[in-house]
Structure 1
């Protein structure tokens, strides 16, 4: 057996987990997350200290009241926090190279080792690496200090956004130990190996491995890169190797082609097949470095009329968007919390995720790969429709950090097969309204060119707020998606479809989609019948309107094959300072699942009925326990073809639903407790669900009058304020008699009309007539 064959055999044995020559050197990856000391000045100006493990955000505890199950405050701390860790570097590491890899720090991080400044990284949500070899003392305890600052900074995206910009070492940290020559960890936080899929067919796949090397030694070296592709059953299905020379102190790259015969393709949720690629760096027979990367073989194309083609097969993207945000930890999610999120995404049946509005942690991409969920990853170039600046700062510093953030995102996520789209911006305002719009638009064009240079095979996309197809921003990225809130912020629940058709007609050659749509909902607020809540600042966001809106929006989306896809906004409630809506302050409640992940809202089950193969039946409005109407509508969601409804043991018949929705009208309740049961049946399956509802005519006062007063109180107080001004004006102009008469008449008239308005509204709602006049 030749040396080359022996080496291939050794690699194969190691890859299937049976053998590897442990005496050969390779990189060590050391968990660096435990036993950090954290200090800062808190919101009250007091010094705060605690021992923490990473990931950590100092905003976690301050933003969530666990006892009340509520967001604690709409105010959160932005400023400086300091992390310190003492760690002994073994003497045995002398002669090695040491690196600290931070998966993310929000938003500026300065690393000091033993009191010496190593470097600064600007920009959150992406990994970065510092070499610390020359700063540590071998065989002794070393102090590692990281100063992290999440203060507003005009040079760093995001400048703003409808979400909270939490600070801290928000993702894990590792200490990397390598030989003097390595597969570089210093390539914008990327793995140093990039798997470029040149050809993907049923008969074969051709992949080019681009490996970046770093010779930190003082001598020229002759090196060999070897690669092996392992299938799901631990079988080596392809190998390759290539020799190269690398001069002392320099970096270089090696391109190694690999061919895989009869590959199994990564086909989304249908078959998320993953290979494992192991890349090894040798000098002679000595192993210097080794890393592993996932490989999911797939081809992608987008057609303006057919949407996305994955491996030549149409795949309509039925997606959800989500933030990294959990109660008690803020943006510093644990692995278990990410897994819970993706478990719920998988349960609902979504086949795509929009990882908004910044690059999410690597574990989220690993889960997307494994579950077959298509991912949209985006940089935090976040605007806001209102205001002149809109997320852009006209400075070279801002643009330079933005370029860096884009390169980091692409290189760190390049090998994840689930990522099909790179997002370049979200909701930048109209060019005619935005300050520095020409400079901003040129910068977006530069980002487009840079993204295609880094990755010519994937598509760029943007999430536009601006409706006009003539808007210059809407002409730049490969795909154009829009954030559309028909039936919530504007329009009706039936206006989305016509808008999509008009847009497609104006842009027949442009692939389009919906990047956000949805409505707010509180799981504690309910209303009998349908009445559109006030979207912005509304004191009541009833759950049934959210479900109703999604039913109609999805009906319009599902029948339009030209759409590349759509993304519900959002999968989970998340924190957003400045919002005070429904029954929560500081929370965006558009999620299909509550912020604490304990309650799946009605709309969650509507999408599950349309997207998931997991058989179920679900009675909606189940949390509206006390009913004021004797005759009510009962709505059920199920993905089985037939559902029977029973009330107090009496069958009300079976219905066949449309898009998973089954409705029984004028269902009569008896006094007190009513047992309502839905039985869903298929050819070989049956599922049941049940609720108990109480009928109480007096509930009209809490179910109707309360929400009405809460939502209309602004009208009342505005009127009172105007009358007060009139009264003061009358006194100032000494029109005492006329002023008093006018003020009193207006006051009593307005008061009487307002009371009459409330009474009529309650009566009309009670008798179900309000919809006829609204």
Structure 2
């Protein structure tokens, strides 16, 4: 956060320090006082809403009978005389899942896909002297030509569930409607502690009837707002078609963006100037860093190995759906950071722009992907390419992103099948758009020989040993087999996990259960699963890293399992973010530098067995355990150094106070629970 604040202060100083600044580009929030109605169902009347908004924040989270269809938004736009000779755009950060935009009865734009931003130009349909009527139709009905093509693995929330902006520019400006990208792209090459080569690419629109002479100016500012370097170029912008211009410079001894250790951000200000006046201006962050994968050794950031301790994240909250505030996004990242994770897979789609920016400033490493997931229709080629282009162009500038995800768990029956062909095309597209980042595709089978594999730089595999197949400990053999047979491959464990319902507790976790239709998934199933599997993963640097599924419980409207309808319970934190499960503290003890002392199975308050094992997580040394003041000394080391299991501890009838204590660096840490033996 220090870097963000200082940068804003610095930019204000830079901007107001010159008398030649013209306020040409304006970007204004356009989220208040919309009216909304559904076009089908019991209630089709208009309601006042404020964006972000979704109509599925309740029904999609509780039942398979959710509203899947059209919703309409309308808003009035008064005439504004200052807009004369300007270009006016609306930029929608997300609309689920297809949208059509009308101004004064004329369609001015459309979009397919719930997760990428899109822009529509209002200029030619605006009335100068009367109120303008804006209408937006959105529809989240699953369809075969828009990915994802179903609601099976997660629900696609309907509505204008992300912010909308009104953008006003001069006729000469950086492109607004190039896949709703910022119009400025900053490439970094040959990065080291000694120097970095920077290329600024600007896409410029000239809607004047004649060519224009201008100055393209790039200013690089450090985190304190000081200008480090300035480059000026004379450019001629023709009146036909979008023009592309490049500037190159070298930065000596750059301050590197170094993940959680030092997420240092420069800022780049790119301007178009005419006669000393700023006609347009775009600001982008620049985190100078170098990612490299060395097969068999892992991912390296700035030539230092970076073992990925990753989590996956869906973007919905209980009773909010996907219509989240920035505060909710920030809360999620703060919880992830608290646990000690250094990497996040934003599954299975493009997520909030704020989230990527926040990850930049925190130093988390991001896997960004498109929702080519779960099922195939054969009709999604164009939309998959469109969504990948949007993902890359809109997020190209984020230093936290190291890889673009192409697909997840979609399959072929032969080597030349649809998935194989499309994934190869998506890989080529990603390399054309962004030659410097990696690509990844994900298979739900554990076999490298699958037809769909090896079409991306990294092969991800989702493995749920002990849940959907085999035994929890089978993960060990799978990893060693891959290492033996494919030592030069880049492999990542893209998902692993188990479900846990905090309202279900047991002293004896079931040995067998139905993972698809079962209604009994006590929290202990999830806890013991993660204790075993992270113990295995911590010993195997062959994998680039691992991503546990999932950070938070989330909605799956077509599911009914684990005792809660429409819920995937594999999160380490509950859907409402109020309860961090035992498995959360397991990873916090293993991953975080923050002192952790935690008694597991704490919600199992009603006991029937007088003899019990007590599991304690401590990353600050051996815990001192007492029950009702009586010390328990017999313990065994668990799967990692933070894992202590006190065996066959005795409880007495009635209430039992269980307490652990550690003195670490002169400070006493304690944790205690009350268990009742019936």
- TM-score bin (small chain): over 0.9
CA deviation after TM superposition for structure 1 residue 305, in Å: 1.0
Matches within 5 A, 1:421-570: 421-432=403-414, 438-532=417-511, 533-570=513-550
Counterpart for residue 384 of structure 2? 402
Q: Structure 1 pair 615/302, CA: closer, same or farther in 2 (3 Å)? A: same
2:28 to 22, 27, 30: 30
Task: Give the Cα separation in 2 of the matches to 1:23 and 1:304.
Answer: 50
TM-score where L is the length of structure 2? 0.95
Q: Does 1:590 align with 2:570?
A: yes
Q: Where do residues 166-181 of structure 1 align in structure 2 (5 Å cutoff)?
A: 166-181=157-172
After TM superposition, give the deviation of residue 47 of structure 1 in Å.
1.8
Alpha-carbon distance between aligned partners in 2 of 1:12 and 1:606, rounded to the nearest angstrom: 41
Q: Equivalent residues in 2 for 1:172-251 (5 A)?
A: 172-251=163-242
Which of 102, 107, 117 is equivalent to 1:117? 107
Shift of 1:139: 4.7
Q: Greater shift after overlay, 531-540 or 79-88?
A: 531-540
Q: Which residue of 1 aligns with 2:58?
A: 61
* Residue from 119, 134, 139 that aligns with 1:129: 119
After TM superposition, give the deviation of residue 430 of structure 1 in Å: 4.4
**Does the C-alpha gap of structure 1 residues 267 and 629 become closer, same or farther in structure 2, counting only changes over 3 Å?**
same
Cα contact 2:636–2:646 (8 A) shared by 1: no
- Match of 2:327, SS? helix
Question: Greater helix share, 1 or 2?
Answer: 1
Query: 1:605 is matched with which residue?
Result: 585
Aligned to 1:6: none
Q: Note the residue ranges of structure 2 that are not aligned, 5 or more in a row.
A: 1-8
Deviation of the 1:440 alpha carbon: 2.9
State the distance in 1 between where 2:14 and 2:411 align.
Answer: 53
Change (3 A) 1:652 1:466: closer
Question: In the TM superposition, what is the alpha-carbon distance from 1:468 to its structure 2 partner?
Answer: 2.5
- Deviation, 1:686, is 2.8
Question: Does structure 2 retain, via aligned residues, the 8 Å contact 1:182–1:288?
Answer: yes
* Largest Rg, 1 or 2: 1
CA contact (8 A) 2:203 2:242 kept: yes
Q: Tell me the distance in 2 between the aligned counterparts of 1:287 and 1:17.
A: 10
SS in 2 for 1:691: strand
Match of 1:280 in 2: 271
Q: Deviations over 1:155-185 (max 9, x none)?
A: 1111134111211111100000001100111
8 Å CA contact retained: 2:219, 2:231: yes
TM-fit CA distance, 1:310: 0.7
What is aligned with 2:377?
A: 393
Provide the rounded CA distance (Å) in 2 between the counterparts of 1:580 and 1:550: 23
**Residue by residue, what CA displacement relative to the aligned partner does 1:183-226 show, whole Å, maximum 9, x if unpaired?**
11111111111110022111112110001100011121011111
Distance, in Å, in 2 between the alignment partners of 1:89 and 1:656 is 74
**Residue of structure 1 in register with 2:632 after alignment:** 652
> In the alignment, is the contact (CA less than 8 A) between 1:377 and 1:419 conserved in 2?
yes
CA distance in 2, matches of 1:93, 1:177: 8
Partner of 2:660: 678
Q: Which residue of 1 aligns with 2:5?
A: none
Counterpart CA distance in 1 for 2:18 and 2:93 is 29
Q: 1:295·1:415 contact (CA, 8 Å) conserved in 2?
A: yes
Paired position in structure 1 for 2:619: 639
2:149 matched to 1:159?
A: yes
Distance 1:81 1:295, change over 3 A: same
Does the CA contact (< 8 Å) of 1:189 and 1:412 recur in 2?
A: yes
Instruction: Measure, in 2, the Cα distance between the counterparts of 1:167 and 1:659.
Output: 46
Query: Quick one: higher RCO (CA 8 Å, sep 6+), 1 or 2?
Result: 2
2:43 paired with 1:40:
no
8 Å CA contact 1:54, 1:170 repeated in 2:
yes
Residue 81 (structure 2) pairs with residue 91 (structure 1): yes
Q: Which runs of 4+ in 1 moved over 3 A?
A: 11-18, 20-23, 653-659
Q: Deviation of residue 248 (structure 1)?
A: 1.8
Q: CA RMSD in A?
A: 1.8
- Equivalent-residue separation in structure 1 for 2:217 and 2:474 (angstroms): 57
Which of 305, 308, 330 is equivalent to 1:339?
A: 330
- Partner of 1:24, secondary structure, is coil
Deviation at 1:616, TM superposition (A): 2.2
CA distance in 1, matches of 2:11, 2:592: 40
Structure 1 position 664 matched with structure 2 position 646: yes
Is the 1:374–1:419 contact (alpha carbons within 8 Å) kept by the matching residues of 2?
yes
C-alpha deviation, 1:445, in angstroms:
0.9
1:77 is paired with a residue whose SS is coil
* 1:50 corresponds to: 47
User: What SS does structure 2 have at the residue aligned with 1:474?
Assistant: coil
Query: 1:235: Cα distance to partner?
Result: 1.7
Q: Is residue 643–residue 656 contact of structure 1 (8 Å, CA) maintained in 2?
A: no
Describe the superposition over 1:521-573 as per-residue Cα deviations: whole angstroms up to 9, x where unpaired.
00111110333443222111111121111111111111111211100000000
- Normalising to structure 1: TM-score of the pair? 0.84
CA contact (8 A) 2:605 2:675 kept: yes
User: CA, structure 1 residues 553+12, in 2 after alignment: closer, same or farther (shift >3 Å)?
Assistant: closer
**Greater Cα shift, 531-540 or 575-584:** 531-540
